[in-house]
C-alpha cells in the first residue's frame, strides 16, 4: 500500500521540529477540529508528514516526520489539568484522537508559505488556499515531492 502524505502545523513556541528531533517521538495531541481529527484517523504507520511552523515570520515547512503510531484516543481531552481538556470527552466517548510522530530529518532549507504560494505546481495544495486553517492537511505525493525539491533535498529518497 502506498504511503500517504500530510502537512501538520505547529507553532514553534509550543512544539517545534527541533523539539521533535530532541524527543525522538511525540504524540500529536490537542487537535480539536473534527475535520482535522478525521484526517488523523485515516493516517497509517509510515505515512510522511511535512512539519510546518505556523505563527512565525515567515511560516513554512521545516522538516519531515513519519507517523509511527496510528490514531488512538487523545487522553489529554479527559485530563482536567490539560489545556486540551474537553468536558464532553468520556472514556465511553473520547471524541478526540492523536497519532504519534517521529522525526525523519530537517529540510536543508525552510520552504516558506510565500514560496509555496509562488509555485504554480502547488496551486491546489491546501495550505496555500485562502481560508485553509486546518492544522492537519492531506498532501498529494506530487506536492510532497515538489516541496522536497524546493528545499533542495532531491525528493527521491522519500518517494513511495
Burial of 103 (0-12, 13-18, 19+ CB in 10 A): buried
List C-alpha distances in Å: 30 to 52, 81, 119: 16, 13, 31
Instruction: Please give the mean pLDDT across all residues of the chain.
Output: 92
Domain ranges of the chain: 5-150
Alpha-carbon distance 86 to 159, whole Å?
38
Range 23-49 average pLDDT: 97
DSSP 8-class letter at 4: P
Selection from 82, 70, 78, 71 nearest residue 94 by Cα = 78
Please state which CATH number belongs to domain 5-150: 3.10.590.10
* pLDDT of 151: 95
Q: Return the percentage of the chain with pLDDT > 70, whole number.
A: 94
pLDDT single digits (tens) 105-120? 999 999 999 999 999 9
Q: Does the pLDDT of residue 52 top 50, yes or no?
A: yes
60-73 sheet: strands from edge to edge: 26-27, 97-112, 60-73, 48-53, 5-10, 136-139
Selection from 35, 21, 102, 104 nearest residue 67 by Cα = 102
* pLDDT of 156: 43
Amino acid at each position: 500500500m502506498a504511503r500517504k502524505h500530510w502537512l501538520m502545523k505547529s507553532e514553534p513556541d509550543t512544539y517545534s521540529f527541533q523539539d521533535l528531533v530532541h524527543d525522538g517521538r511525540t504524540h500529536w495531541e490537542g487537535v480539536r477540529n473534527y475535520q482535522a481529527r478525521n484526517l488523523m484517523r485515516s493516517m497509517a504507520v509510515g505515512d510522511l508528514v511535512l512539519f510546518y511552523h505556523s505563527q512565525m515570520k515567515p511560516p513554512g515547512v521545516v522538516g519531515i516526520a513519519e507517523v509511527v503510531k496510528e490514531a488512538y484516543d487523545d487522553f489529554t481531552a479527559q485530563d482536567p489539568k490539560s489545556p486540551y481538556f474537553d468536558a464532553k470527552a468520556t472514556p465511553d466517548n473520547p471524541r478526540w484522537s492523536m497519532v504519534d510522530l517521529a522525526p525523519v530529518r530537517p529540510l536543508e532549507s525552510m520552504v516558506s508559505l510565500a514560496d509555496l504560494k509562488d509555485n504554480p505546481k502547488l496551486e491546489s495544495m491546501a495550505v496555500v488556499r485562502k481560508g485553509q486553517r486546518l492544522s492537519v492537511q492531506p498532501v498529494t505525493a506530487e506536492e510532497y515531492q515538489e516541496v522536497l525539491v524546493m528545499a533542495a533535498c532531491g525528493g527521491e529518497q522519500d518517494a513511495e
